[in-house]
Structure 1
Amino acid sequence: MLDFPVENLSAEDVERLRRIYEPLTNSVRDLIDATIRTEVDGDAVAAAKAEIDSATTRLRSRQLDGSFGVRFGADGDQMPWGNVVIGMRNPVAPPLVFAPTADGGVRADFHLGAAYEGPPGHVHGGIAALILDHALGGAASAPDKPRLTGTITMRYRRMTALGALHVEAAVVRTEGVKTFAEGRLCDADGVTVEAEGVFIRPRWARD
């Protein structure tokens, strides 16, 4: 049992939580992939299910009401650990780790496996849209100036192969509360999806 709430934590306590939960999340990611690709017999599946059900019961013995949300450390750093794209505690997230680019945008190199398949051997188009939406939003926003998706347009140039991928996005211009951003998703053979979007600073975050 943790002896402190998951908010206003020191950098040391944030790292302590990361050491506790990140290995669990990685194990569940492996489990998802194994579940999709296993070819073991019925007895092995039944045994695995019993073990998984037991682990789920143990983890549910103490849990949050609702979603994780975005928590903040004592130094103001965000902890969006439940986020479906970047969440350290969300095994559905790839996850992506974004880095800044020279032009003020963001970029990430990541891997998508069997859990993200649409067409055989390729990334589902909705997953591509999810990742690009997050990348464009990340480029358009700042910690003290959040911006939410107003509209986004996707151009699917070809299918995206599962495996090693790259995404990048940058701001094109800002007009009042609207910020315009563009980005692209690439596989080993080049650009597969292009996106452009308008991101709005919500009323509650305006000066």
Structure 2
Amino acid sequence: MAERPELSAEQRAVRRDAVGDLGAALRDLVDAAVRTEVPLEELADVAGAVRELAGRLRADGRGLHDIASVDDPEIGERWYSPVYGPGNPVAPPMHASSTPEGRATGRVTLGKTHEGPPGLVHGGVVATMLDHVLARAVRAAGRGGLTATLTVTYRRPVHLGVPLLATAQLGTTEGRRTTATARLVAEDDPDTTLAEAEGLFVALRPERAADVFAAMDRQVGAWTSRS
């Protein structure tokens, strides 16, 4: 496949809007798919229509190790992230933000797509959300790193359809190692902890990062040591 030219800032903004619009439509489709009880014939017709649409999208695609043109891997911005990516139909998506002091927040309401026990959010999804805000807090403080350890404590069941708030704060730093802590609450009950987590993140040495991300078609810097 021929190498794709990088998009200008304006081109990337336009494509991000289109990717986000498709992602929203697909999330609606996924939600409908996990709730539907339509007759078998309708299920078969819809499956055929979806396969046809998938073929249209595959007419021009990227490889498994190619980075999306709407991404910015130098700062860790992933438009198809499974946690917050506007273009990813399995993402909630979480609305996340961070500050240079090493604090991060994420707001999200989860539906049937992320259900574990009936009416409750799957525990693995809870862990994924906490891991994301932990990593975002670390990265916001200028500390690259991959998750080395993640310890999650589940305090209360997390219900579907409830606006949730995840917060994270930078902990200690030593060399390439950085810690952070996170907490998940319902927005209307911020004093009750639903789950909490501690994470250790280790930045890759430049030479190790070059090896880990060797298959990528663009430079990756967000998970690399700056020193």
With the shorter chain as reference, the TM-score category is 0.7 to 0.9
Q: State the AA in 1 paired with 2:123.
A: G
> Which of these residues, 105, 108, 116, is aligned with residue 107 of structure 1?
105
2:178–2:202 CA contact under 8 A, matched in 1 = yes
Q: Distance in 2 between matches of 1:48 and 1:192?
A: 38
> Which of these residues, 76, 90, 93, is aligned with residue 91 of structure 2?
93
2:52 maps to which residue? Answer: 54
> Judging changes above 3 Å, is the alpha-carbon distance between structure 1 residues 116 and 58 closer, same or farther for their aligned structure 2 residues?
same
Greater strand proportion: 1
Q: Distance in 2 between matches of 1:6 and 1:23?
A: 23
> Which of these residues, 160, 163, 174, is aligned with residue 162 of structure 1?
160
Q: Give me the TM-score of the superposition, normalised by structure 1.
A: 0.87
Q: Deviations over 1:5-52 (max 9, x none)?
A: 473x32211111022221111111111110011121122212211211
Deviation at 1:68, TM superposition (A): 5.1
> Judging changes above 3 Å, is the alpha-carbon distance between structure 1 residues 14 and 96 closer, same or farther for their aligned structure 2 residues?
same
1:139 maps to which residue? Answer: 137
Q: Deviations over 1:173-206 (max 9, x none)?
A: 2122211100011124432110011111111233
Q: State the AA in 2 paired with 1:130.
A: T
1:199 maps to which residue? Answer: 201
2:63 maps to which residue? Answer: 65
Q: Distance in 2 between matches of 1:67 and 1:104?
A: 30
> Judging changes above 3 Å, is the alpha-carbon distance between structure 1 residues 53 and 88 closer, same or farther for their aligned structure 2 residues?
same
Deviation at 1:145, TM superposition (A): 3.7
Q: Cα RMSD between the aligned structures?
A: 2.4
Deviation at 1:101, TM superposition (A): 5.2
Q: Does 1:30 align with 2:32?
A: no
2:176 maps to which residue? Answer: 177
Q: Distance in 2 between matches of 1:127 and 1:71?
A: 27
SS state at 1:181 partner: strand
2:99–2:141 CA contact under 8 A, matched in 1 = no
Q: Give me the TM-score of the superposition, normalised by structure 2.
A: 0.80
Percent of residue pairs bearing the same amino acid type: 37
Q: Distance in 1 between matches of 2:5 and 2:160?
A: 35
Q: Distance in 2 between matches of 1:117 and 1:68?
A: 31
Q: Distance in 2 between matches of 1:88 and 1:65?
A: 20
> Judging changes above 3 Å, is the alpha-carbon distance between structure 1 residues 45 and 99 closer, same or farther for their aligned structure 2 residues?
same
1:33–1:115 CA contact under 8 A, matched in 2 = yes
SS state at 1:21 partner: helix
Higher relative contact order (CA 8 A, sep 6+): 2
1:98–1:107 CA contact under 8 A, matched in 2 = yes
Q: State the AA in 1 paired with 2:18.
A: I
Q: Give unmatched runs, 5+ long, in structure 2.
A: 207-223
Deviation at 1:100, TM superposition (A): 2.4
> Judging changes above 3 Å, is the alpha-carbon distance between structure 1 residues 138 and 78 closer, same or farther for their aligned structure 2 residues?
closer
